[in-house]
Structure 1
C-alpha cells in the first residue's frame, strides 16, 4: 500500500455543550493541523499516488468551508457535536466527494485524516473507499 500525506492548517470557533467537555463547553477557538493521507494499492502510470499539488488543492477546497467559521452556526453541524474526531470524519468524507471527479482519485483505496490540536493531542479517522 502506498500513501501520500499533505497537511494544511485551519482555524474554527465552536462549543461542545456537554458536561464531559468541561471548559470547552463555552465558545472557544481552535487551530488544527489537518494531515490528509491518500492511500493507493499501486502507483499510477506516473509512479505517484496523487499529484501533491492536486492533493493540496482538494484539501484547501474542503477546509475553505470550515476555516474562520463558527461551527455552532455551520449548517453541516446543526444538532451535532464538532469534536476533533467528528471533524476528522467530516473532512475525510468531504475529500472523498472531491476525489470522485478526479481520474487518479477514483483509483485511491482510502483517505485518512489526522487533526492535530497541539503537538500532544490529535484524533484520526480512516475512510476506506469502496471502488467498484
Structure 2
C-alpha cells in the first residue's frame, strides 16, 4: 500500500453546547494541525498517487473555509458541534470533492482512500477516513 501525505494548520474559535464538554462550553480558540494522507494500492500513470503540490493546494483551500472563523457560526457545524472529529470529517468531504474533479490521469486510482487527522495539541488528535 502506498500513501502520500501533506500537513497544514488552521486557527479557529468555537464552543460546545453540550455540558459534556465542561469548560469547553465557553468560547475558546484552537490552532489545529491537519495531516492528510491518501492511501492507494497502486500508483497512477505518472508513478505517483497524485501530485503532492495539488494535494497541498487542495488542503489549503479546504482549510481557508475554516481559518480565523468562529465555528459556532459556520453552517457545517450546526448547534455548536465543531468537535475535532467533525472538523476532520468536514475537511475530508471538501478534499474528496476537489479530488473527484481532477482529470483521470491526475487523480488517485479507483479504490484509494483519504485519511484526515486533526491534532488539537501535540498529544491529542482525532480523524476521519473515507473512500475516494
In the aligned structure 2, how far is the partner of 1:86 from the partner of 1:118? 16
In the aligned structure 2, how far is the partner of 1:25 from the partner of 1:68? 19
Q: Normalising by structure 1, report the TM-score.
A: 0.92
Name segments (4+ residues, structure 1) moved above 6 Å. none
Q: Normalising by structure 2, report the TM-score.
A: 0.92
Aligned residue number for residue 43 of structure 1: 43
Q: CA RMSD in A?
A: 1.3
Paired residues in the alignment total 129
Aligned residue number for residue 74 of structure 1: 74
Aligned residue number for residue 6 of structure 1: 6
1:122 paired to 2:118: no
Aligned residue number for residue 15 of structure 2: 15
5+ long unaligned stretches in structure 1:
none
5+ long unaligned stretches in structure 2:
none
1:105 to 104, 107, 111: 107
Instruction: Note the C-alpha offset of 1:65.
Output: 0.3
In the aligned structure 1, how far is the partner of 2:80 from the partner of 2:109? 32
Mapping for residues 75-90 of structure 1, pairs under 5 Å: 75-79=75-79, 81-90=81-90
Deviations 1:24-73 (A, max 9, x none): 00111010000010122210122111111101000001000000000111
Instruction: Note the C-alpha offset of 1:110.
Output: 0.8
